[in-house]
């Protein structure tokens, strides 16, 4: 960005899609396409010799797919990588989330299907994402193996953590946007399968990608991941994702509610709806977590949860892809704790483990008892 323009490499196996992406990107005066390649190895070679500001990459490519290409780039010449995928292709979506696990920081839907209004909205979102991601500082990823899942039994709490939690925590609510899938996976993979509280999640993600994310989380965590259904009683050790285009909350009877009420902060589902519901229904018995994402969705409502006595956690700036939502919450004084993504699971375990006040980890008082 020496002259203020964002240099983008397009990696896409379809020649037609590649031309369309280049034209779309260059329609923005702030973006310059510096390369367009048709396979993963060519993308790696380009990045090694002409490091761009952003790589916009498809998932199915000759020689190396999007996952392997992302992994190798992030282990050598780390740059912000955006996966551009078709949301109606199950295989594409599976590779998309493996690529995010390898270090890609965002996923967007290819803007070449649907009605004209849909195309214009998707194209605008693509351009906005490229510009935003160009400012993200990424670090080189070292090759590593996935840690073994935690055992189902809790280890004894360290002495420093043996302190009474403010109240019985019956429900955990998590909100996330840009960069959220990997932060969520980091947190949920750090929780044991008998985690003694249900977890409700609102993740802003491109339409059609949620089932793929749920499957990916089911494969990479020991918890049971569901796309939420209306009227379900949330169970300990289970995670419920707000479905596309529905707000999710919790009713006075402890059951999940879904509604198509008006968008909040231009979003549906909205984190604000979930957190407000938790504040009103569970008060001090809820725990709220606000993760990486642009905008301010959920920040005011996290403060409302704190005002009702709930424990509230915001992701720190260093570990956030975009520190919009948690940053606003911190500025509002809405977070009782500010933590990096890889420390949040430990905090949740320490808090929920002690909900009966003696640290025995039996999980009394969970919703649905």
Assigned domain for 52 exists: yes
pLDDT in tens, 159-189: 333 344 457 899 999 999 999 999 999 999 9
Among 133, 149, 180, identify where a domain stops. Answer: 133
In a domain, 143, yes or no: no
Q: What is the pLDDT of residues 15-62, one digit of tens each?
A: 999 999 999 999 999 999 999 999 999 999 999 999 999 999 998 888
Same domain, 57 and 108: yes
- Cβ–Cβ contacts within 10 Å for residue 246, how many? 18
Q: Residue 278 pLDDT > 50, yes or no?
A: yes
Residues 23 and 112 in one domain: yes
| Residue 177 is among the residues annotated as catalytic for this protein | yes
Active-site choice (87, 177, 272, 319) = 177
Residue at 173 is within a domain: yes
In a shared domain, residues 170 and 251: yes
Same domain, 86 and 201: no
Are 129 and 176 in the same domain? Answer: no
- What's the pLDDT score for residue 173? 98
Q: For the whole model, what pTM was predicted?
A: 0.84
User: What is d(CA 30, CA 35) in angstroms, rounded to the nearest whole number?
Assistant: 16
Residue 194 annotated in active site: no
Residue 106 belongs to what domain range?
Answer: 6-133
Q: Provide φ and ψ at 55, rounded to 5°.
A: -115, 125
Integer angstrom CA distances of residue 185 from 171, 201, 216, 222: 18, 12, 9, 11
Let me know whether 171 and 294 are in one domain: yes
Number of domains in the chain: 2
pLDDT over 50 (residue 144): no
CATH of the domain at 38: 3.40.50.2300
**Which listed residue (297, 316, 319, 323) is catalytic?**
297
- Residue 74 belongs to a domain: yes
Catalytic-labelled residue, pool 13, 39, 65, 204: 204
Give 281-336 pLDDT, tens digit per residue: 999 999 999 999 989 999 999 999 999 999 999 999 999 999 999 999 999 999 99
Query: Nearest 5°: phi and psi at 59?
Result: -105, -35
- Indicate which CATH number applies to the domain containing 330: 3.40.50.180
């Amino acid at each position: 960005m020496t002259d203020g323009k964002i240099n983008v490499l397009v990696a896409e196996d379809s020649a037609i899609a590649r031309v369309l992406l280049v034209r779309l990107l260059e329609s923005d005066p702030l973006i310059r396409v510096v390369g367009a390649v048709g396979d993963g190895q060519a993308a790696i070679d380009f990045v090694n010799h002409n490091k761009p500001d952003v790589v916009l990459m498809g998932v199915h490519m000759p020689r190396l797919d999007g996952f392997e290409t992302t992994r190798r780039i992030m282990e050598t010449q780390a740059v912000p990588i955006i996966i551009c995928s078709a949301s109606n292709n199950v295989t594409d979506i599976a590779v998309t989330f493996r690529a995010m696990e390898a270090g890609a920081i965002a996923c967007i839907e290819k803007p070449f299907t649907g009605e004209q209004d849909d195309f214009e909205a998707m194209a605008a979102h693509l351009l906005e994402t490229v510009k935003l991601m160009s400012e993200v500082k990424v670090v080189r990823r070292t090759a590593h193996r996935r840690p073994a899942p935690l055992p189902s039994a809790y280890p004894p709490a360290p002495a420093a953590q043996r302190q009474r939690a403010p109240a019985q925590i019956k429900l955990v609510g998590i909100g996330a946007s840009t960069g959220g899938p990997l932060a969520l996976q980091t947190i949920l993979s750090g929780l044991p399968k008998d985690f003694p509280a249900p977890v409700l999640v609102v993740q802003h993600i491109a339409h059609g990608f949620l089932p793929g994310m749920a499957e990916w989380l089911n494969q990479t965590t020991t918890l049971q991941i569901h796309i939420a259904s209306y009227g379900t009683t949330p169970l300990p050790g289970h995670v419920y994702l707000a479905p596309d285009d529905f707000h999710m909350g919790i009713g006075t009877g402890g059951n999940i509610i879904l509604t198509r009420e008006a968008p909040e902060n231009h979003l549906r589902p909205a984190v604000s709806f979930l957190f407000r519901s938790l504040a009103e229904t569970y008060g001090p018995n809820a725990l709220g977590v606000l993760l990486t994402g642009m905008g301010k969705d959920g920040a005011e409502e996290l403060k409302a949860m704190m005002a009702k006595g709930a424990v509230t956690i915001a992701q720190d700036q260093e570990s956030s892809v975009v520190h919009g939502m948690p940053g606003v919450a911190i500025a509002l004084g809405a977070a009782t704790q500010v933590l990096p993504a890889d420390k949040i699971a430990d905090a949740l375990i320490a808090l929920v483990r002690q909900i009966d006040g003696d640290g025995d980890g039996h999980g009394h008082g969970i919703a649905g008892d």
